[in-house]
Structure 1
Amino acid sequence: MSSDASIGTPKVSKSDAEWREQLTPEEYQVLRRAGTERPFTGEYDEVFTEGVYSCRACGAELFRSETKFASHCGWPSFYAPSADDNVILREDSSMGMTRVEVLCATCHSHLGHVFSGEGYGTPTDQRYCMNSVSLHLEPAG
């Protein structure tokens, strides 16, 4: 797991003003301020279209539809990123609990959190619980 010091400089780096100009207020709050969209409201929560999910902020590939599963938790869930180096995992001690935050490895935007050992029966026993507003789905074909 990465610490703030070990995650390095993002490959895509913009000023706060540039991010605000590019993103909607909701996207900015989640991607750049580590917010969370309300459960069961995101556009990809119950979508199972074949394709590639990329970072809404920078366009980097993050997940593929083959690893998406129905967790019924209110947010899109995946059991693995498309490549381990597409995301950064770091400890998150906010909100009075310790969790593992998931960031885009390219622009360091907040995507969501990853949880283990919840009994979903996925190949990795992990649930990457992502905010829909952090993602963009490019359908296959």
Structure 2
Amino acid sequence: MKLDRRNFVWSGATLLGLGGLGYLMRGTAPALASDGNYAVTMTDEEWRAKLGDAAYDVLRHEGTERAFTSPLLEEHRVGVFACAGCDLPLYKSDTKFESGTGWPSFYTYIDGALGTKVDNSLFGQRTEVHCSRCGGHQGHVFEDGPQPTGLRYCINGLAIKFIAA
């Protein structure tokens, strides 16, 4: 692509728009404990041994799994989706929907199960969601979901497990 004045202006406008969009996409869960005091805590070595490398990276280091790789995308039974780190129920199966994004998506969460924090790591500000019991990174929340909330909790499949009813 040739970098002329028009492309430069369009690129700048796009980056500003993405930053503004990130600002608008803020979740409604309470903020996380900034002191890191959670009911379930382990050392880094204990988390890695419990979770395995891939889930450890997502839950403990805010990594992201590749889109369309989670078997939970196809999970449609009745039950709950719980934190893979501490087993806290986070989402009811009837709040799951097909977002087409490649990650399990929910339009709401179980009261008290999540906390949020600001994520400035990618072209602006997003809202990260974490388990309120162990602090494990789940994913992000966006304001492009279905009614009744209009929210999309875009969750890493490695961060959750399904428990059938």
The structure 1 segments of at least 4 consecutive aligned residues displaced by more than 6 Å after TM superposition are none
Aligned residue number for residue 41 of structure 2: 13
Larger Rg: 2
Aligned residue number for residue 15 of structure 2: none
Letter in 2 for 1:12: V
Aligned residue number for residue 70 of structure 1: 98
Aligned residue number for residue 133 of structure 2: 106
Letter in 2 for 1:106: R
1:49 aligns with 2:77: yes
Structure 1 gaps, min length 5: none
Deviations 1:61-117 (A, max 9, x none): 10000100111110000000021x11001111112321000000000000000001x
Whether the aligned pair in 2 keeps the contact of 1:46 and 1:70 (CA below 8 Å) is no
Structure 2 gaps, min length 5: 1-29
Aligned residue number for residue 150 of structure 2: 125
Task: Please state which structure has a larger fraction of its residues in strand.
Answer: 1
Q: Alpha carbon RMSD of aligned pairs, Å? A: 1.4
Count of aligned pairs between the two proteins = 136
Percentage of matched positions with identical amino acids: 39
- Deviation at residue 3 of structure 1 after TM alignment: 6.0
1:2 aligns with 2:27: no
Q: 1:33 to 1:114 in 2, by over 3 A?
A: same
Equivalences for residues 17-28 of structure 1 within 5 A: 17-28=45-56
Query: Structure 2-normalised TM-score?
Result: 0.78
Cα distance in 2 between the residues matched to 1:137 and 1:98: 30
Whether the aligned pair in 1 keeps the contact of 2:32 and 2:132 (CA below 8 Å) is no
1:95 to 109, 118, 122: 122
Letter in 2 for 1:88: G
Cα distance in 2 between the residues matched to 1:47 and 1:98: 30
Secondary structure in 2 matching 1:62: strand
